[in-house]
């Protein structure tokens, strides 16, 4: 009986390894394809599309040199996106966590105003503000906080702490997994945000990376190689963000999905 159980466990382990290996290949393959394409001339991309073929005689760093040192404002777009992503994530985590805490204890009505009535068109504030109180982030924090023991809040109130004091001194320190999970998700959303900045940003010097890369597309298709290079480098910040917070990500997502 014990031998059968061992064989069954061994088979399950092998199947899981095979499954996740295939899954990893499916995830890595598109990134590897884009990486190869970044060294190919734009004409090859139009003629053959994205593929795994390697012709060493036609591989070069010309696309990188042209994008990073040419007439395109790639680094301006890049740092504009970095700035907006950091500001959006920090503001979203702080405000949504506080609002989620409020929703767990109080009921109140929200208000809505359009950006045009505040004169915020062509302004970075207009990009950040709608996502500061993100509905799904608030709901996640609310679910996470509902799982905390009420005795913790009561102990803080008995000690004379205000609601702000309870939140910042008692609640926030134990929300690290939730913050990490939402930092990754909101960071990815802010970094990849295209439609909303397209609607509110008018000045080219304020373009984010997603808007700037879109300007590389022209009817002649001779900038697709630059678009591939820029797209490949745009993956790096999100990858770094996930690596930094991955140890808390699963814990935070699991805890936020269950209410005690």
What is the pLDDT, as a whole number, of residue 113?
46
What is the pLDDT, as a whole number, of residue 109?
46
Assess contact for 227 and 210: CB atoms under 8 A.
no
Q: Can you tell me the distance from the alpha carbon of 102 to that of 96, in angstroms, rounded to the nearest whole number?
A: 10
Alpha helices in 106-123 (DSSP H): none
Instruction: Show me where the domains of the chain are located.
Output: 64-257
What is the pLDDT, as a whole number, of residue 111?
36
What is the pLDDT, as a whole number, of residue 260?
45
What is the pLDDT, as a whole number, of residue 19?
92
Specify whether domain 64-257 bears CATH 3.40.50.970: no
Assess contact for 242 and 62: CB atoms under 8 A.
no
* Each residue's pLDDT tens digit, 177-193: 888 888 888 888 888 88
The list of the chain residues with pLDDT below 70 reads: 1-3, 103-120, 218-222, 251-260
DSSP code for 123: S
**Which candidate, 87, 252, 260, places its Cα nearest to that of 175?**
252
């Amino acid at each position: 009986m014990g031998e059968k159980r061992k064989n069954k466990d061994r088979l399950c382990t092998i199947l899981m390894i095979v499954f996740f290996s295939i899954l990893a290949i499916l995830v890595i393959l598109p990134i590897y394809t884009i990486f190869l394409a970044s060294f190919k001339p734009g004409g090859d991309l139009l003629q053959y599309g994205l593929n795994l073929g390697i012709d060493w005689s036609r591989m070069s760093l010309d696309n990188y040199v042209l994008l990073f040192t040419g007439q395109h404002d790639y680094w301006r777009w890049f740092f504009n996106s970095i700035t907006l992503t950091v500001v959006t994530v920090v503001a979203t985590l702080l405000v949504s966590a506080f609002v989620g805490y409020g929703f767990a204890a109080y009921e109140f009505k929200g208000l809505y105003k359009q950006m045009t009535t505040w004169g915020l068109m062509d302004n970075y504030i207009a990009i950040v503000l709608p996502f500061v109180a993100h509905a799904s982030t608030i709901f996640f924090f609310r679910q996470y906080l509902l799982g905390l023991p009420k005795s913790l809040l009561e102990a803080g109130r008995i000690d004379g702490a205000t609601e702000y004091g309870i939140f910042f001194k008692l609640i926030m320190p134990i929300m690290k997994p939730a913050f990490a999970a939402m930092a990754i998700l909101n960071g990815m959303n802010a970094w990849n945000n295209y439609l909303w900045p397209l609607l509110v940003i008018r000045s080219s010097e304020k373009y984010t990376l997603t808007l700037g890369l879109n300007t590389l597309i022209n009817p002649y298709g001779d900038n697709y190689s630059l678009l591939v290079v820029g797209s490949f480098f745009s993956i790096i910040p999100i990858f770094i963000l996930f690596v930094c917070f991955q140890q808390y990500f699963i814990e935070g997502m699991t805890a936020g999905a269950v209410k005690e």
